[in-house]
Amino acid sequence: MSNSSNTTDRDPPSSPEAAAGVAGVVSRADSAQVAHELNNLLDGSLRNISLALAQLVPTGESLDSEAGGLGDEAVGRLQTAGASLKQMAQVLEGWMRGGTAGSDCTPVAEATVQDVMEYARRTVEPLLRQNQVNLVIDLDTEISEVSAGPLATVLVNALRNALDVSPVGGRIDVRGRCRYGRANLLVMDDGPGLVPELPRDESGFVGRGATTKPDGHGIGLAISRQAAEAFAATLALNDRPGGGAVLHVSWDVVA
């Protein structure tokens, strides 16, 4: 009795092109299932955070009257966690709908540089404390009010990367200035600087997949660059004079 139909199901594709096609379908299907499960977990987590906030600050009550002191800090941390989870949910939703995360997956798309900087600072604050790293933020008045919501991803990634290479007791500087109608943000660390052999693309920027971390995937900078370009901003990553590295984000200020 022939078992050709069963054999066909088990046998590998007969050509590299067919194998790639099958792998792509399986990979996409598996990824979609994972994304769906993650979305469910995120939804549950967001609901729990909302419930916790409602218990800490009942409807109609002010934060000052209900939580004071340590409670204020707990509420702030829950709000930061909630904003991060919402951003993750937006990324997943964008991927499930069109295969890409999109460039507007930020806590508040129309936020100012000051808003985005505060969001990024609160996001990495636990790591700052854990690593005893000092974050110094210096923004001039003009750039503080410039629109920069879509750059939240860039700033969070930049601070995380700087934290990864900063020594205990180190320092990260963020400096923002507006000059001649252009906004400029610098994120500077006092780590070891760039590795010379890191692969670069045709523009000289660190290429996708480049990483100095043992467990790194090398996509953080690529994602940051994609977000920046969608906002018509440019990124430059260079060694910092005197040691460390500096990430320069620049974009035109819309009058």
State yes or no: pLDDT of 27 exceeds 80: no
Average pLDDT score over the chain: 74
pLDDT tens figures, 157-191? 899 889 988 999 999 999 999 999 999 999 999 98
Alpha-carbon distance of 235 to 233, in angstroms, equals 7
Which residue matches tokens 């990367």? 161
Residue 18 has pLDDT above 80, yes or no: no
Side by side, which strands form the sheet with 245-252? 134-139, 171-179, 182-188, 245-252, 233-239
Q: How far apart are CA 249 and CA 185, in angstroms?
A: 5
Cα–Cα dist 4/7, whole Å: 5
0.85 exceeded by the pTM? Answer: no
Instruction: Give yes or no for residue 25 having a pLDDT over 50.
Output: no
pLDDT of residue 23: 41
